[in-house]
């Protein structure tokens, strides 16, 4: 499986970024009225900088100096006159401490219809802890806003960005093409609800490199319509692992294909590499997936395919998943399982998993070989295996 070919490399992106600092067209939000005190609303200053950069026919840079800047909510809308807008963030953007102010919005910070946006450095503080507490108490709470979203956008690069304590998902890519994420950090409590680190759907040519994700849900969640996704050198934990899915919630749903996950470490996570689909009819599929060179450290479900996902037994009991899963390879997967069954393939009765390949898998439980469990799964094995294959 070849690494997806992008329209530009990170080297070129950062060269463009550095060039943009040296030419006219740098917009410092302090010059536009922003206050680095974490209390004064700087939303208008940030959006004024965006309006100027987006309206410029030349490459432009938005500069956020050191300090804490309160931003209540911001939408960065395109299309723009140029395709090289850089954000240099030396400080921290802070969401409102009152979660009700943005809790019913889809996003705190959202980019739509943009092409050629580069974000370098900075911290995004979603201040989501009070909302998590509200949800844990059982009170009526807003669902929460995702921290950063890119929708229907192309040629995006993000490097060295940290996302803290998002109310909901940290970073969402929806309907995007050619996206590079490098050196991203996601930090949230292990019990924070629905705080997926990076969520990708209906997007192509996304690359995630050299990142560290600690959160309360999936470190990376891969939704319908994702193609040519490359994930490499990622540390995940705590969290729910890297998950393809959940898929099959809708009957008319695009598939997931050409996904590579390599050189990844999972530490104290609920899952390692997981494929998950609702137990009900769907036209979706998963194919051409490679999990390679993966280390598991005390992971509850290191290798998992679950095609009987049915939360609260609503809208799916008695049905079977329509998601077709084929050509999934697990190569050089090693480490420790926190449960006796380290490999579990629980596939659809109507659409069994086919083309599953296990190669050099060595997983132990309490210093003994772990076990495997298969239902409606077929494939091949190669090399050293532990647990014994159930395919």
* Angle ∠(304,310,311) on CA atoms, nearest 5: 105
Residue 352 has pLDDT above 80, yes or no: yes
Per residue in 125-145, pLDDT (tens digit) is 999 999 999 999 999 999 999
What does the alpha-carbon distance between residue 69 and residue 213 come to, in Å, rounded to a whole number?
24
Residues 279-338: tens digit of each pLDDT: 999 999 999 999 999 999 999 999 999 999 998 888 887 899 999 999 999 999 999 999
pLDDT reported for residue 275: 98
Rounded CA-CA distance 259/267 in Å is 22
**CA 233 → CA 182, 201, 293, distances in Å?**
10, 21, 10
Mean of pLDDT over the chain:
94
Q: What is the pLDDT of residue 5?
A: 42
The DSSP code for 132 is: H
pLDDT of residue 328: 98
Is the model's pLDDT at 15 over the cut of 50?
A: no
Three-state SS for 155? strand
Q: pLDDT at position 313, please?
A: 85
- Give DSSP secondary structure letters for 37-51: EEEEE-HHHHHHHHH
Quickly list H helices, the chain. Answer: 10-21, 43-55, 129-137
pLDDT at 24: 60
Check residue 226 and give its pLDDT: 98
- pLDDT confidence band for 85 (50 / 70 / 90): very high
- Nearest-angstrom CA–CA distance, 292 and 23: 43
Active site residues: 240
**Chain position carrying tokens 């509200």:** 134
Strands 368-369 vs 353-365: parallel, antiparallel or unpaired: antiparallel
């Amino acid at each position: 499986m070849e690494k997806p070919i992008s329209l530009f490399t990170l080297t070129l992106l950062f060269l463009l970024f550095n060039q943009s600092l040296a030419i006219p067209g740098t917009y410092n939000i302090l010059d536009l009225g922003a206050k680095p005190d974490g209390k004064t609303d700087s939303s208008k200053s940030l959006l004024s900088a965006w309006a100027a950069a987006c309206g410029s026919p030349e490459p432009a840079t938005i500069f956020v100096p050191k300090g804490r800047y309160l931003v209540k909510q911001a939408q960065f809308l395109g299309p723009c006159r140029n395709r090289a807008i850089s954000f240099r963030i030396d400080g921290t953007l802070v969401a409102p401490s009152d979660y009700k102010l943005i809790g019913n919005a889809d996003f705190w910070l959202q980019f739509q219809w943009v092409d050629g946006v580069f974000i370098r450095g900075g911290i995004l503080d979603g201040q989501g802890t009070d909302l998590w507490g509200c949800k844990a108490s059982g009170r009526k709470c807003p669902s929460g806003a995702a921290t950063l979203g890119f929708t229907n956008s192309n040629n995006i690069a993000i490097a060295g960005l940290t996302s803290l304590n998002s109310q909901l998902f940290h970073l969402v890519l929806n309907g995007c093409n050619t996206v590079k994420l490098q050196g991203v950090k996601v930090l949230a409590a292990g019990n924070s609800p629905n705080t997926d680190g990076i969520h990708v759907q209906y997007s192509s040519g996304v690359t995630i490199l050299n990142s560290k994700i600690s959160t309360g849900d999936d470190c990376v969640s891969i939704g319908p319509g994702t193609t040519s996704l490359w994930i490499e050198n990622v540390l995940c934990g705590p969290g729910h692992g890297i998950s393809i899915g959940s898929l099959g919630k809708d009957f008319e749903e695009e598939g997931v294909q050409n996904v590579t996950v390599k050189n990844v470490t999972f530490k104290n996570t609920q899952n390692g590499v997981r494929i998950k689909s609702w137990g009900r009819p769907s036209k979706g599929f998963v194919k051409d997936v490679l999990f390679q060179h993966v280390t598991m450290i005390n992971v509850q479900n290191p290798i998992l395919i679950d095609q009987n996902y049915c939360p609260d037994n609503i809208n799916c009991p008695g049905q079977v998943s329509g998601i077709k899963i084929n050509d999934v390879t697990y190569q050089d997967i090693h480490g420790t399982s926190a449960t006796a069954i380290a490999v579990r393939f629980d596939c659809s009765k109507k659409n069994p998993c086919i083309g599953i390949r296990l190669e050099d898998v060595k997983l132990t439980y309490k210093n003994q070989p772990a076990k495997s469990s298969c239902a409606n799964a077929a494939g091949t094995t190669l090399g050293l295996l532990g647990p014994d294959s159930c395919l």
